[in-house]
Amino acid sequence: MSVITISRQLGSLSCDIARATANRLGYRLVWREIINQAARVAGAPDVALAVIDELGIFGLETSSEAESAYRAAVRNIMLEMAEEGNIIILGRAGQVILSGRPDTLHVRLTAPLEVRINRVAARLSIPYEAARAQVLASDRHRKSYLKKGYQVDWNNPDLYDLMINTANVSAETAVELILHALASRFQENNLVQ
């Protein structure tokens, strides 16, 4: 049983890659359910809204106590899910929370800014400048989430086992790379997959 965490940038094909990888492996894919479950456990729905508000539309301010309770709930939920195994966790600082686990592969999906902007504009059928604003806001939000909550730099390559730039790699090729890295990790650690 294993776990894959995927950290991503908006426009890096992350959802497509995560879904395809989960389908190939027969794994469960989770991301937003962690937010919802943690908000219920922590009794902090405003924190959950603030966490998913990458664009700052809601303008929510949350207390440090509520944020701490929320992060503790995320950690506990993620650890429970990891114990079950056969899961892909998209976002939510999985690369930090589950670091050091021999049964976990940490993947980072990236692409150059212009590529991501053009993908978001095409996918959402919005103007380039609107897509640019969304991508930049998402990057700021995700970077801040890890810095503020976990005191790490989101872009630090030491957090990841595999980094894939999807600018010139198809989603299908990225899936193959992840599968190969996962198989190699199990061989190296003499784990049963």
53-98 confidence digits (pLDDT tens): 444 555 556 667 777 777 888 889 899 999 999 999 998 899 999 9
Given a cut of 70, whether residue 35 has pLDDT beyond it is no
Would 141 be classed as within a structural domain? yes
Residue 35 tokens, joined: 């937010």
Given a cut of 80, whether residue 189 has pLDDT beyond it is no
Given a cut of 60, whether residue 126 has pLDDT beyond it is yes
User: Rounded CA gap, 5 and 108, in Å?
Assistant: 8
pTM (predicted TM-score): 0.86
For residue 191, what pLDDT is reported?
Answer: 56
Whole-number average pLDDT of the chain: 87
Average pLDDT over residues 96-111: 96
Domain total of the chain: 1
For residue 90, what pLDDT is reported?
Answer: 93
Which letter, b or e, does each residue of 61-73 get, where b requires 16 or more Cβ atoms within 10 Å of its Cβ? eeeeebbebbbeb
Lowest mean pLDDT among 15-19, 32-36, 56-60, 131-135: 56-60
* Residues of the chain above pLDDT 70, percent: 83
8 Å CB contact between 29 and 19: yes
What is the bridge-based pairing of β-strands 3-8 and 162-165? unpaired
**Which residue range(s) make up the domain with 102?**
3-30+86-188
Would 119 be classed as within a structural domain? yes
Would 7 be classed as within a structural domain? yes
Given a cut of 90, whether residue 192 has pLDDT beyond it is no
User: Rounded CA gap, 177 and 166, in Å?
Assistant: 11
Question: In angstroms, what CA-CA distances link 176 with 132, 164, 186?
Answer: 29, 11, 16
pLDDT-derived band at 178, boundaries 50, 70, 90: very high
8 Å CB contact between 98 and 78: yes
C-beta neighbour count of 128 within 10 angstroms: 13
For residue 48, what pLDDT is reported?
Answer: 60
Would 132 be classed as within a structural domain? yes
Given a cut of 90, whether residue 37 has pLDDT beyond it is no
115 Ramachandran zone, left/alpha/beta (phi>0; psi -120 to 50): alpha
CATH number at residue 117: 3.40.50.300
Per DSSP, the residues of 123-185 read HHT--HHHHHHHHHHHHHHHHHHHHHHH---TT-GGG-SEEEETTSS-HHHHHHHHHHHHHHH
Would 159 be classed as within a structural domain? yes
Question: In angstroms, what CA-CA distances link 186 with 7, 89, 126, 173?
Answer: 21, 18, 43, 20
Burial class (CB in 10 A: 0-12, 13-18, 19+), 152: middle
For residue 46, what pLDDT is reported?
Answer: 59
Residue 130: beta bridge partners? Answer: none
pLDDT-derived band at 33, boundaries 50, 70, 90: confident
